[in-house]
Amino acid sequence: MNYRHLRQSYLNNIFGPDHPLYPVVEIASRTRVLNIGDNLPQEPLPSDNQDWMRWNNLGVSYIDQLQYPEVLNAFEYVTRLRPKYKDGFINVAITYIEREKYDEASKPLEKALALRPGDARALYYRALVERRQRNSEAEVADLERVVSQYPESRYARRELGISLYQQHRPDDAIAKFKALQAIDPDDLAAHYNLAILYRRKGLKKQAEQEVALYTMKRIDPGAPTYSLDYLRHHPEISNESVPWHEHTQMYSAPLAPATEPSSYPAPASKTGTQ
């Protein structure tokens, strides 16, 4: 498995076709010899993952492909292989939450918390279940416990602010969203909810500032049209946008930059990296 900080097409676009080669670092490698004909079973190497971990990794890969029945089968098998692995039960619960089966998610979360009381990951997802069950007091209490353990968690602070907002506790919700902005000034949920809360309190100037920030930072609704058209003309980049794909060759020299359609604007001075 090789790694290069920036993909070749991006480098060509920024630096031109004659730029020095960026280093390609080998992260990991392994060799297997495939024998033609009958093959006897081989014992796993000491460095190989155990069965429960391989099933857990399989479940994670199925989540990326939205194959939820297969995800559930994999994670439930993990809990049978390693019944004291609390994250196995949390992963089962997450699968139910993704399918909006909140009542079914409660039991594995309680099992995880029995294995490790006060576990922040289990508490976070239990709070999401409690929200759907309209148990707002327990929801806030669990999220506050998560924030106390991980004060820099953007997700926990965001959900806690939403919970307080839904409880009609505007001052507390504002405080949580401002704390979230101190961690991540670009968080859209913070800007959106603060704009509403400020306006309801009659703080029009602060509300207008949050609206402006939200409008500036949110995704442009027209962006998919431009991006999809660009990907149609650049299949080598389109391939990178697919979660599962292969790199079948390593380039020894930079690729020639593709011809840009005249309708595209000039590239910005800063772009995202991979």
Could you tell me if 252 and 22 are in contact, meaning their C-beta atoms sit under 8 angstroms apart? no
Contacts of 170 (CB under 8 A, 6+ apart): 197, 200, 201
Average pLDDT, the chain: 82
The radius of gyration of the chain's CA atoms, rounded to the nearest angstrom, is: 24
Query: 3 in helix, strand or coil?
Result: strand
Residue 26 host element (H or E) = strand 25-26
Contacts of 201 (CB under 8 A, 6+ apart): 170
Express each pLDDT in 168-208 by its tens digit: 898 989 999 999 988 888 888 889 999 999 999 889 999 99
Quote the pTM value.
0.64
Could you tell me if 153 and 176 are in contact, meaning their C-beta atoms sit under 8 angstroms apart? no
- Tell me if the domain spanning 55-150 has CATH number 1.25.40.10: yes
Could you tell me if 49 and 56 are in contact, meaning their C-beta atoms sit under 8 angstroms apart? no
State how far the Cα of 127 lies from the Cα of 106, in Å rounded to an integer: 10
| Position with higher pLDDT, 39 vs 53 | 53
pLDDT, average across residues 34-52: 78
Residue with tokens 């949390």: 90
What are the residue ranges spanned by the domains of the chain?
Answer: 1-30, 55-150
Please count the helices (runs of H) and the strands (runs of E) in the chain: 13, 2
| pLDDT for residue 269 is more than 70 | no
pLDDT, average across residues 90-111: 90
Range of weakest confidence among 6-15, 64-73, 83-92, 102-111: 6-15
